[in-house]
Amino acid sequence: MDRLISLLVLSTLPPVVVPRVFAETSFKAAVEIVEGDSRIFSGETVRLRCRIPDNWSASTYLWFLGSEQLGQSGQHLILWNTRVKDSGKFYCQGARSTVVGDIRTKRSLPVQIDVDGGWAILKVSPSPGLVGNTLTLTCRVRGNTPLHEVILYKDGVEVMRQNGLNPHFSVTNLTQEHEGMYSCRASWDVRRRTHSVISSATPVQVLEVLTQPILEIFTSEELTKGQKMKLICHLQYNAPAPAPPVEYYFYRNRIRLGTATSVNYDLVSWKPGQYSCKARVPKLGLLRWSEPKSFEQETVGSRVMMAPPLHPRDPVTSVSSPELSLPPVADPTAVLLTPRKSIASPTFALPVEVSTRYPDLSLMPSQPAPSTLLSTAQSPKQTVTPIQTDLLQKSDNMSGDSDNMESDDMESDDMESDDMSSNSPHTVLH
């Protein structure tokens, strides 16, 4: 009887689900658009392809919309008869089965697909733009209706107007002052009546090819045992592929430490002083300097320690310094384009007496969020008492300096910093 009761209890327990374990390779998948566009009208089709590196083969593919895994397992993902709710970030991943379990590639970077339920779309190419390059904005109307006139707006203000036979606007010699929210208005005539529609606002972002570097001084217990510290030169390099290499230089008290390096870090002796780094792309004629950063304290890991003022009879002690602070991010400056107020206010409206081929369409524009730019941080300046300086100099004389330093004329031998966004002529091609 007891055995029968035990069998009944076991039969009522829920089954134990063992999660499937998989290994991940160092290879990374990539999503590309092979048909359609990243911004389409509702009802249109877009086709995506999951690309895997040539030296790795996949037997199946995983597709994701945001954090949700989709049911498709082929290399191509086709979105038929799209709806506004199909908008989002699409990812893919390659996978294959082995005797030891499943192996997957790293998940791809996302591709944003926006499905617009309105009547007009403003396409921006390339996105984001680069300083000094040309940006093309195209006003597209549902159904490819022949247009009479097209108007371009920036932040709600008219900046260009041209014949509808050419719905493409070009902005040359881009600067970061061209950033903003752009939209377009299209008009056409049907049976002696004028119909007009306006697109949703689309963000335009303009990046520097080489941003200003930010110097980080990193120390750890392991490094301090060898009286070393690590200098890291952080920057953003946005040159299109194939991009020429970047050269990195590191300085202490305006004296170069060693020679140029192709990596953005270097190990140097633990010494107080003013540190900075320089990034240079000789083939593009680009050169940017970081802000100088003082190092006059002992650091262990991520904690910063600074000696307090000493008196003749006081013992040497250490106290924690205040946390490093970051300055606020600078806002983009105003645009240089000469605005002309439009006669017609840029509001969203359905066309008047337009064919009822799309009776269920409603203006439900979707807008991708603009990305953020890198901000610059600088550590607070600190002072050292005469007694501290004397102690540091004695310690420096005992340890010696093993770095290979050579003098560098910062003003005459090196190229001056290249400000890509200043004094750039602004020309608009009609």
Region 239-267: mean pLDDT is 94
Q: Which of 169, 170, 161, 167 is nearest to 141 (CA)?
A: 167
Among 93-97, 152-156, 348-352, the least confident range:
348-352
Render pLDDT for 7-25 as a digit per residue (tens, 0 to 9).
Answer: 444 455 555 544 555 688 8
Over residues 409-423, the mean pLDDT reads 39
Q: What is the pLDDT of residue 102?
A: 85
- Give the residue, 191 or 154, on which the prediction is more confident: 154
Model confidence pLDDT, tens digit, residues 108-121: 999 999 999 999 99
**CATH topology agreement for domains 20-114 and 214-322+381-390:** yes
Q: Classify domain 214-322+381-390 at the CATH superfamily level.
A: Immunoglobulins (2.60.40.10)
pLDDT band (50, 70, 90) for residue 332: very low
pLDDT of 22 reads 64
- Listed in sequence order, the residues at least 6 apart from 110 whose beta carbon sits closer than 8 Å to its beta carbon are 31, 89, 90, 91
**How far, CA to CA in Å, does 238 sit from each of 132, 214, 235, 283, 334?**
12, 16, 10, 14, 23
**44-66 pLDDT tens trace:** 999 999 999 877 888 899 999 99
| pLDDT at site 221 | 82
Q: Are 252 and 274 in contact (CB under 8 A)?
A: yes
Q: What is the pLDDT of residues 376-397, one digit of tens each?
A: 333 333 444 443 444 334 444 4
Choose the weakest-confidence range: 138-142, 147-151, 360-364: 360-364
With cut-offs at 50, 70 and 90, classify the pLDDT of residue 97.
confident
Residue 397 sits at φ, ψ, to 5 deg, of -65, -35
Fold observed for domain 118-207: Immunoglobulin-like (2.60.40)
The pLDDT of residue 12 is: 57
pLDDT of residue 13: 52
Determine the pLDDT at residue 34.
94
CA distance linking residue 176 with residue 100, whole number of Å = 52
pLDDT at 3: 54
Mean pLDDT of the residues in the chain: 74
**Token output for 132:** 């000094």
CB within 8 A of 82, min separation 6: which ones? 40, 42, 43, 44, 45, 46, 115
Distance separating alpha carbons of residues 82 and 265, to the nearest angstrom = 47
122-126, 310-314, 395-399, 402-406: which has the minimum mean pLDDT?
310-314
The pLDDT of 410-424, averaged and rounded, is 39
pLDDT score, position 59? 85
Mean pLDDT of 22-43: 90
Report the CATH superfamily, name and number, of domain 20-114: Immunoglobulins (2.60.40.10)
Distance of CA 91 to the CA centre of its chain: 17
- The closest of 173, 142, 145, 147 to 161, measured between CA atoms, is 147
pLDDT digits (tens, 9 = 90+) for 192-246: 899 999 999 999 999 999 999 999 999 888 877 778 899 999 999 999 888 999 9
What stretches of 258-383 adopt beta strand conformation (E)?
265-269, 273-281, 286-289, 293-295, 298-300, 303-306, 319-320
Share of the chain above pLDDT 70, in %: 64
The number of residues making up the chain comes to 430
Give the start-to-end residue ranges of the domains of the chain: 20-114, 118-207, 214-322+381-390
Asked whether residue 31 carries a pLDDT value surpassing 60, the answer given is yes
pLDDT tens digits for 162-189? Answer: 988 889 999 999 999 999 999 999 999 8
CA 362 from centroid of its chain's CA atoms: 32
In this predicted structure, what is the pLDDT of residue 323?
38
**Section 259-286 average pLDDT:** 94
